[in-house]
Amino acid sequence: PGRKRGFPCSFLLGMVICMCGCHTAWIASNASAVTHRLASSRPHQQVMSDLDETSRLRSQLELLPDVLNFARMRGLQVGNAYQRIDSIAGPVSWIVVAADPNTLSLHHWSFPLVGKVPYKGYRFLDHAQQEANQLSSLGWESEVMAVEAWSSLGWFPEPMPASLLELPEHRWVTTLLHELVHRTIHLPSNAQWNEGLATFLGNRLAQEWLVSRHGEDGDESTRHRLRYQDEMRLNRLLREYREGLLAGHRRQAHQQFLQSLEDQPWEAFSGAKLASERWSLPRVLMAEIYDPEAFDWERMWAESAQDLSNLAIWGLTKKDGTGAAESSSGPVEGDFRSRENSSRD
């Protein structure tokens, strides 16, 4: 039985390596993170049976099938994703992001099948740090970020990271729906469009789920709504910060940004905590890729009759945005954070 379970993972790894030529060392490390997680995962019911009935993780696992059914009813392609649980502690992977301090643009890597992407993934932190150090020696500003959740874009059934279920319900449900949006709709070479949609729709559907379960004024519904409002406020401040950088006022823009963080009337975030974080150039530029206000999603969602198939066609023919640097998403995408940004608010 063990050999049968391991074969698909080994086959996937071998296939990817054979297709990637000179990038074999990188893809062997990154793909092995995925295959290792798949091979080590356990069936949902098996994990639940090992947990005490009062365990918080068990209570969240009990919710998981309901969330997946909700996603199916709302048109997301769940398939066999998240039927198994990945109980390995820590991030599922690490990515390196780098920015040119002169052009204020993200570095892009090119890979067969994947195309151009603004990050490079590794299974091991020290390997990612070596890549970041090498880029820094060449004049790039680089940062290593932790990957907490990922999507195969439907290539194979992803396991559910148990560490994600340690977050409050409104957080892990939002992340899960975000990744299922990627699994359902993906436009090649349009990272900003893909991530903006997943952020918008993941939050929209999460609010719908939370209200159906807890009511409009329930604690989880309220916490989700306030957090999303703060995320949008932070996105706007980051947008102003990038505009200041592009105008050539880097130091002034940085100081104004930090002051604005402390002055904002945050509901879920802490201004002092945000201001104390490391706002590196790669992190600031990556925020644009995930900015849901870069596109008029409310209008697009309404014009598509809230149908993802229609939205995909709409996106191919009418997409418009902020004109951010061209980027591309590959067959494995993730939600990732700075190593320093490990808050679980």
Question: What digits encode the pLDDT tens for the residues 45-65?
Answer: 999 888 887 788 899 999 999
DSSP 249-279: -HHHHHHHHHHHHHHS--SSS-HHHHHHS--
Mean pLDDT (the chain) is: 81
Question: What digits encode the pLDDT tens for the residues 179-204?
Answer: 999 888 877 777 788 888 999 999 99
pLDDT at 343 over 60: no
Burial class, 184, CB count within 10 angstroms (exposed 0-12 / middle 13-18 / buried 19+): buried
DSSP letter assigned to residue 339: S
- Comparing 40-49, 87-96, 279-288, the range with the smallest average pLDDT is 87-96
Confidence at residue 40, expressed as pLDDT on a 0 to 100 scale:
86
Under a CB-based contact definition with an 8 Å cutoff, are residues 61 and 85 in contact? yes
**Strands 160-161 vs 84-86: parallel, antiparallel or unpaired:** parallel
Beta bridge partners of 141: 99
pLDDT at 303 over 50: yes
Work out the pLDDT band at 335, boundaries 50, 70, 90: very low
3-class DSSP state of 36: helix
Confidence at residue 12, expressed as pLDDT on a 0 to 100 scale:
44
pTM, 2 dp = 0.81
As a whole number of angstroms, the distance between CA 84 and CA 52 comes to: 19
As a whole number of angstroms, the distance between CA 212 and CA 223 comes to: 15
Confidence at residue 273, expressed as pLDDT on a 0 to 100 scale:
95
Work out the pLDDT band at 341, boundaries 50, 70, 90: very low
Smallest Cα–Cα separation from 80: which of 65, 90, 94? 65
Name the residue with tokens 């990556």.
286
Burial class, 88, CB count within 10 angstroms (exposed 0-12 / middle 13-18 / buried 19+): middle
3-class DSSP state of 177: helix
3-class DSSP state of 138: coil
3-class DSSP state of 178: helix
Task: Summarize the confidence of residues 89-105 as an average pLDDT.
Answer: 91
Alpha helices by DSSP H, listed for the chain, are 2-18, 24-40, 44-49, 56-73, 125-137, 169-184, 191-214, 219-246, 250-263, 271-276, 281-289, 297-303, 308-318
